[in-house]
A and B are shown apart, each in its own frame.
Chain A
Amino acid sequence: MKITINGKKTALKSPQTLAAIVRQTCKEPQYVVAEVNGKIVKSNGWAKTVIRENDAIELVSFVGGG
């Protein structure tokens, strides 16, 4: 199934939870904020959020900035 992570199309072999995707994608998940299809998903809800075909995930974190 195809999903989008941070604007990039990705293929998943099987359905996964948001928690699993964050773990695989981010080195420091404790600093990450996640959005699925434009809606923020709180970190305590990642484990029960199953990602479906065509979902768009945004994973953001803090960087240096003025």
Chain B
Amino acid sequence: MISKKSDSLIIAGKKFQSRFLLGTGKFRNKSDVKSCINSSGTQIVTVALRRVDVERHEENILKYIPKNVTLLINTSGARNAKEAVRIAHLAKESGCGNWIKIEVINDSKYLLPDNFETIKAAEQLVKDGFIVLPYVSPDLNVARELVKVGSSTVMPLGSLIGSRQGIRTKELIQILIDEIDVPIIVDAGIGAPSQAAEAMEMGADAVLINTAVATALDPVAAAKSFALAITAGRLAHLSGMAQRAASAQASSPLTGFLYEQS
């Protein structure tokens, strides 16, 4: 039996027992973020950086994130590499660590990441001493380039962000899983625990979920359900289950029937 302890997710030399990364956007109640972290056991949580809203004085999200959780700061809002680099440096100044999810989006209709600008940002931020986890459209050449410049993971999108369509880029993600040596974290588009399990069964190292948990009627239960599915999918992957077959294969022996005559 595979022990959970021996199956760690290792990113930039840091060990994690949970393979569930939680995004903190769109929560109706910020206190649910803390409850979701507790119910799911997630050890990596993403946050974003924005201008202080002088009029609304919104409460800071960091209050609801336990200190032992690794903060992954998202460069969302960046439209090019230069802006992503600027956001990363601002985030580092806050004292919240140097783990950066590079997200560069310059397309307001599909919100697809700009792979080219993401590579440029990754190269610069690695030079500047950041641990970078880039979010990209799944593409083998892009992933290879990201690894070459020193990225700690590759985070391919499963489908359009916030769409809950599941793993629509399955074949392309599978290539990354098979060919890329850093952890592959499926990010965006996962709308149900079954879809998270599917990614893990394929051999993804982890998944990042936000919208599906944050917008559920009961986010805490939703987070727990994803955690269970991710664990199940991981275990299924490690168990070495046989692949699907085109023809029927009997589960019971095809010999020793009662009517057989020798």
B33 touches A64 (CB 8 A): yes
A65 touches B90 (CB 8 A): no
B52 touches A62 (CB 8 A): no
Output the residue of B27, B50, B73, B188 with the most chain A CB within 10 A: B50
Least CB separation from B71: chain A residue: A62
Once A35-B90, A42-B93 are accepted as A-B contacts, the answer to whether A62 and B62 lie under 8 Å apart by CB is: yes
Task: Please give, as numbers and ranges, the residues of chain A lying within 8 Å of B214 by CB-CB distance.
Answer: 64
Task: Please give, as numbers and ranges, the residues of chain A lying within 8 Å of B52 by CB-CB distance.
Answer: 6, 25-26, 32, 59-61
The total of interchain contacts (Cβ-Cβ below 8 angstroms) comes to 90
Task: Please give, as numbers and ranges, the residues of chain A lying within 8 Å of B58 by CB-CB distance.
Answer: 63
B57 touches A27 (CB 8 A): yes
A62 touches B89 (CB 8 A): no
Least CB separation from B162: chain A residue: A66
Least CB separation from A22: chain B residue: B52
Q: Does B26 contact A (CB under 8 A)?
A: yes
Output the residue of A5, A8, A35, A64 with the most chain B CB within 10 A: A64
A66 touches B60 (CB 8 A): no
Q: Does B161 contact A (CB under 8 A)?
A: yes
Task: Please give, as numbers and ranges, the residues of chain B lying within 8 Å of A11 by CB-CB distance.
Answer: none
Once A33-B94, A35-B90, A64-B25 are accepted as A-B contacts, the answer to whether A25 and B50 lie under 8 Å apart by CB is: no
* B-contact 0/1 string along A24-56, CB 8 Å cutoff: 011110011101000010100000000000000
Interface size on A, residues (CB 8 A): 23
* A-contact 0/1 string along B47-71, CB 8 Å cutoff: 1111110100111111000000000
Which residues, 152 to 193 on B, are CB-close (under 8 Å) to A? Answer: 161, 187-188
A62 touches B90 (CB 8 A): no
Bound Cα distance from A61 to B57, whole angstroms: 11
A60 touches B33 (CB 8 A): no
Task: Please give, as numbers and ranges, the residues of chain B lying within 8 Å of A7 by CB-CB distance.
Answer: 51
B13 to A: closest C-beta gap in Å: 25
Residue among A5, A42, A64 making CB contact with B48, cutoff 8 Å: A64
Residue among A33, A42, A64 making CB contact with B61, cutoff 8 Å: A64
B93 touches A61 (CB 8 A): no
A40 touches B50 (CB 8 A): no
Once A27-B57, A58-B51 are accepted as A-B contacts, the answer to whether A65 and B46 lie under 8 Å apart by CB is: yes
**Using a CB–CB distance below 8 Å, which chain B residues touch chain A?**
23-27, 30, 33, 46-52, 54, 57-62, 73-74, 76, 89-91, 93-94, 96, 161, 187-188, 208, 210-211, 214
Question: What are 17 contact pairs spanning A and B, CB under 8 A?
Answer: A6-B54, A7-B51, A33-B49, A40-B93, A61-B50, A62-B60, A62-B61, A62-B94, A63-B50, A64-B24, A64-B26, A65-B23, A65-B47, A66-B23, A66-B46, A66-B161, A66-B211
